[in-house]
Structure 1
Amino acid sequence: MKKRVNYYQGLAANYSKPGLVSIEQQDELIHFALQYAALKEAVLPVVDKDYTLEQIEKENKDWWPTHCEALRQGRGDILTEEYREDLVYFCQDGPFYGLDQQKEREKHWWALLAQPGVEMTWPIVMFHGEFVHFEWNCIDLETNETIAKGTVNWVRRGHRGACYYKSEQLTFYRDVFAPPELLEYISKS
């Protein structure tokens, strides 16, 4: 039988369940998220001998915990910067092309996932070059119920390229649209 491995081995922080990331680490990861977003280039960089798939995979592994923390904190500003302007996003409400088409729908998702009393976790994350595959769930900390879950594939060309393709299957068990107070919360971040 194949031995199971911790998907977070070698990463800066473990987001596989609630309570594993210190406040100091959370602040540091948000700092790095802002730095990584600033490295995004206007033109998608070419994969070549100067920007290899190995380098891109390393950057994606460095970026991953910053993405998790940005979502947990409802930092819509950072989450938006993780995408390219010409993003292709396939999901059950899509397809969406570019940043404007998915913006209205995705803000509801982010607000529900980052709401107070709920913690988002990513028990599985895998990397291969510019491909990042992960599964997530959101747990109500009072009732322990799973309120939402999903499986996602990102194609992210490291810090310089950001995410240019995303495919996601989302399931919401309670709430489908965020109430106005949660939308205000995500917009203020």
Structure 2
Amino acid sequence: MPQKKRTNYYKDLSANYSRPGLVSPELGTKLVAEAERILTLKESSLPDIDSSYTLEQIEQENKDWWPTHCEALRQGRGDILTGEYRDDLIYLCQDGPYYGLDEQKEREKHWWALIAQPGVTMCWPIVMFSGEHTFFEWKCVDLETNETLAKGNVTWVRRGHRGACYLKTEQLTFYRDVFAPESLIELITTA
């Protein structure tokens, strides 16, 4: 069987988050502004997939959204990250399941604080899209020691900008810390 050619998962996206140092501060600022704009497009009801809102359009919107999500996380913008979810989110992970936006809030703020802490950069070496599905692998790299302090893989079921994320599954592993100290929690922007 022939070996499949390796892929640059970011070749058609607006920014590359596969490792530290590839996104300028200016581009990061633009992506956060775009993330804030995308949040305004979320509808109160999950839109239907039909001829006026196709899977192809949803997949393109998910590709457009992806770099904004990465930058929001790198900047500790918990307000944006929470806004990316539907109110009736189903979140399946080893600490879950969580239903809605309130159940996972306490736990997820610790995750965000650890992976967005100063001196650490979150990277997403793999991201793939199929309709409303976005699969990715992530890791957090300590910029001083180059150690991986956390990693995982995630699938978001996101109905484009209009629908947002209604199902998230995640496997995550923390190597160095499990709960963030209050000094890191305070760095996360909340709604």
Instruction: Place the TM-score, normalised by the shorter chain, in its bin.
Output: over 0.9
Question: 2-11 or 116-125: which moved more?
Answer: 2-11
Report how far residue 5 of structure 1 moved. 1.0
| 2:158 alignment partner in structure 1 | 156
| 2:174 alignment partner in structure 1 | 172
Scaled by the length of structure 1, the TM-score of the pair is: 0.99
Amino acid across the alignment from 2:47: P
Q: In the TM superposition, what whole-angstrom CA distance separates every residue of 1:69-127 from its partner, at most 9, and x where no partner exists? A: 00000000000000000000000000000000000000000000000000000000000
| 1:6 alignment partner in structure 2 | 8
| 1:75 alignment partner in structure 2 | 77
Q: Work out the CA distance in 2 between the residues paired with 1:159 and 1:102.
A: 22
The 5-angstrom pairing of residues 120-139 of structure 1 reads 120-139=122-141
**Contact 2:157-2:168 within 8 A present in 1 as well:** yes
Matched, 1:58 2:69: no
Match of 1:43 among 42, 45, 55: 45
| 1:104 alignment partner in structure 2 | 106
Q: Work out the CA distance in 1 between the residues paired with 2:6 and 2:51.
A: 34
**Contact 2:20-2:123 within 8 A present in 1 as well:** yes
SS at match of 1:164: strand
Aligned residues, how many?
A: 189
- Misfit runs of 4+, over 3 Å: none
| 1:88 alignment partner in structure 2 | 90
Q: Work out the CA distance in 2 between the residues paired with 1:157 and 1:49.
A: 14
Scaled by the length of structure 2, the TM-score of the pair is: 0.98
Amino acid across the alignment from 2:179: F
Q: Work out the CA distance in 2 between the residues paired with 1:60 and 1:9.
A: 15
Q: Work out the CA distance in 2 between the residues paired with 1:3 and 1:187.
A: 40
**Contact 2:124-2:139 within 8 A present in 1 as well:** yes
**Contact 2:123-2:139 within 8 A present in 1 as well:** yes
Question: 1-10 or 140-149: which moved more?
Answer: 1-10
Amino acid across the alignment from 1:3: K
Q: In the TM superposition, what whole-angstrom CA distance separates every residue of 1:113-165 from its partner, at most 9, and x where no partner exists? A: 00000000000000000000000000000011000000000000000000000
| 2:142 alignment partner in structure 1 | 140
Where in structure 2 are there 5+ consecutive unaligned residues? none
**Contact 2:84-2:164 within 8 A present in 1 as well:** yes
Where in structure 1 are there 5+ consecutive unaligned residues? none
Amino acid across the alignment from 1:37: L
SS at match of 1:101: coil
Report how far residue 36 of structure 1 moved. 0.4
Question: 74-83 or 1-10: which moved more?
Answer: 1-10
Q: Work out the CA distance in 2 between the residues paired with 1:23 and 1:182.
A: 21
Question: 179-188 or 134-143: which moved more?
Answer: 179-188
Q: Work out the CA distance in 2 between the residues paired with 1:107 and 1:171.
A: 16
Q: Work out the CA distance in 1 between the residues paired with 2:190 and 2:88.
A: 25
SS at match of 1:28: helix
Q: Work out the CA distance in 2 between the residues paired with 1:57 and 1:187.
A: 28
